[in-house]
Amino acid sequence: MTSRIVRRNRTIAVAAAVAVIIVLIITLASCGGGLARFSSAKMPVAAPLPPFDSKFTDASVRTVPLVTVADAAWVADVAAKTGIPERVLAAYAGGAIRLALTWPECGVTWNTLAGIGWIESHHGELYGAVIAPDGFMSEPIYGQPLVGDGTMNIPDFDDGNFDGDPLHDRAVGPMQIIPQTWAAWHVDGNGDGDPNGQQIDDSVVSAANYLCFSSDTMTTAEGWTKSLWSYNQLDSYADDVRATANEYAAAIGVH
């Protein structure tokens, strides 16, 4: 049975109005604009950790490609139920497992990572792009320059090396990470030795590490909200991620 989420994903190509809204969200300084005081603290349902090889340890899970970490049958089944592209879901699931082993007090879940990925880039499919089997974007995704005109004003951090803009920063890739955050938290998630913000595994683990750094734990409403506010300083942003994460949990029967 086709879920409502599957049907929603199939409308991407014609949903121009939605794309405009997503761009507005992206331009409000995704992933690393700093933390302001948030007005409410709520969290989504925490979807259970996907099944994985019990032999993985803190050390060993860092050495394997993220796409191989979560059980493949689980990924295929949940992708069909949620409408999340299978290759992308493997990254969200692998990221949650990796952080459960390397940063267990954090508690970031795959459905929260998926909620962020949907809001930021429609799982890498914004503007008709796709994430290829190797995890790289078919076309790079960049947010608008953060020049202070309806966005935060963030002058260039790295001579445009990460985001291609030598004057102002902008968010990069499927998880929309800004240069300062990438510089501090970039990770080689796919094992090719070259962390890349336009590669889903690298992007997801880097984003997850930053979320975990931003609060003591994401297992409480206050901690979850604090982490989301470090990513984007809008209550409406946290609300949208929360609602999307809850939809994904509900699609697999978790309420």
In a domain, 42, yes or no: no
The residue segments making up the domain with residue 71 are: 4-33+48-251
**Would you state the pLDDT for residue 7?**
35
Residue 242 lies in a domain: yes
> Is 38 part of any domain?
no
pLDDT, residue 143, reads: 85
Number of domains in the chain: 1
Flag whether 41 is in a domain: no
Instruction: Flag whether 39 is in a domain.
Output: no
Q: Determine the pLDDT at residue 32.
A: 56
Torsion, Cα 93 94 97 100, to 10 degrees, reads -110
**Residue 156 covered by a domain:** yes
pLDDT tens digits for the chain (255 residues)?
A: 434 444 344 333 323 223 323 333 333 345 654 444 555 679 999 999 999 999 999 999 999 999 999 999 999 999 999 999 999 999 999 999 999 999 999 999 999 999 999 999 999 999 899 999 999 999 999 988 877 776 677 788 888 888 888 988 888 999 999 999 999 999 999 999 999 999 999 999 999 999 999 999 999 999 999 999 999 888 999 999 999 999 999 999 999
Could you tell me if residue 40 is inside a domain?
Answer: no
Q: What is the pLDDT of residue 27?
A: 35
